[in-house]
Amino acid sequence: DAKTTQPTSMDCAEGRAANLPCNHSTISGNEYVYWYRQIHSQGPQYIIHGLKNNETNEMASLIITEDRKSSTLILPHATLRDTAVYYCIVRPRGLIMEYGNKLVFGAGTILRVKS
């Protein structure tokens, strides 16, 4: 699986957009970019994923560069409840029998939303 690099922590003002970057320079053509978040001691929560096109859902937007070597998760109007650790994960597309589709979590980015 491709390795990801994220900043250790970021601050964001409440109501402003939070832009969380992720580098995945060794990503291969069949690998998706996934974002999860974990609010203190709760189970990780799936946010969004993409392959090469930008994606948007009710929670966030995902912008993937044309070369796919980096991406940005955008929370358009951050609230205090968005304070969490955000994980960027790259995993292969399709069935990976030997890994059971396992997710590999790194250290993530601590996002602090401040009022």
The residue ranges that bind other proteins (CB under 8 A) are: 32, 34, 36, 41-46, 49, 87, 91, 93-95, 100-108
Nearer to other proteins (CB atom), residue 13 or residue 46: 46
Is the torsion defined by CA of 51, 54, 57, 61 positive or negative?
positive
In angstroms, give the least distance from the CB of 115 to other proteins: 26
CB of 32 to other proteins, least distance (A): 7
CB of 63 to other proteins, least distance (A): 18
Amino acid identity, position 74: I
Can you list the positions of beta strands (E) in the chain?
9-13, 18-23, 31-38, 45-50, 55-56, 61-64, 70-75, 84-92, 109-114
Rank residues 17 and 96 by Cβ distance to other proteins and give the closer one.
96
